[in-house]
Amino acid sequence: MANSFTLSEAARIIDIPKIGRNKIYAILRILNIVDCQNRPDSKFVKKGILDLGSPRCYFNRYVTVVIGRRGLSFLTMIIEDYLRTHPIPTFPKKK
């Protein structure tokens, strides 16, 4: 997959303050764009926005791959729209 990025790479590229890979995954899960195992919904795969990185499966958790600039613009738009009406997702502190 030439011209594709993991969500970690995409988070660095789009550079929204206080938003990294984990918060992007949380937002995408809330919006039902990815499932609980980080697999993208088939309609986003068919549109060529997201894909599932088949060789990139770690500990039974899949890595969602953003495809090209089109996927980056989609991701930026989704996150900015979400943050206009919702707070940044938070995670419980580890003890």
Within the chain, residue ranges assigned H as helices are: 7-14, 21-30, 42-46, 68-85
Task: Say if 23 falls within a structural domain.
Answer: yes
76 in any annotated domain: yes
Question: Is residue 8 situated within a structural domain?
Answer: yes
Let me know if residue 32 belongs to a domain.
yes
Give residue 51's pLDDT: 83
Q: What is the pLDDT of residue 26?
A: 92
Provide the domain count of the chain.
1
User: What does the pLDDT read at residue 94?
Assistant: 75
93 assigned to some structural domain: no
Structural domain of 63: 4-85
Under-50 pLDDT residues of the chain: 55
Q: What is the pTM of this model?
A: 0.83
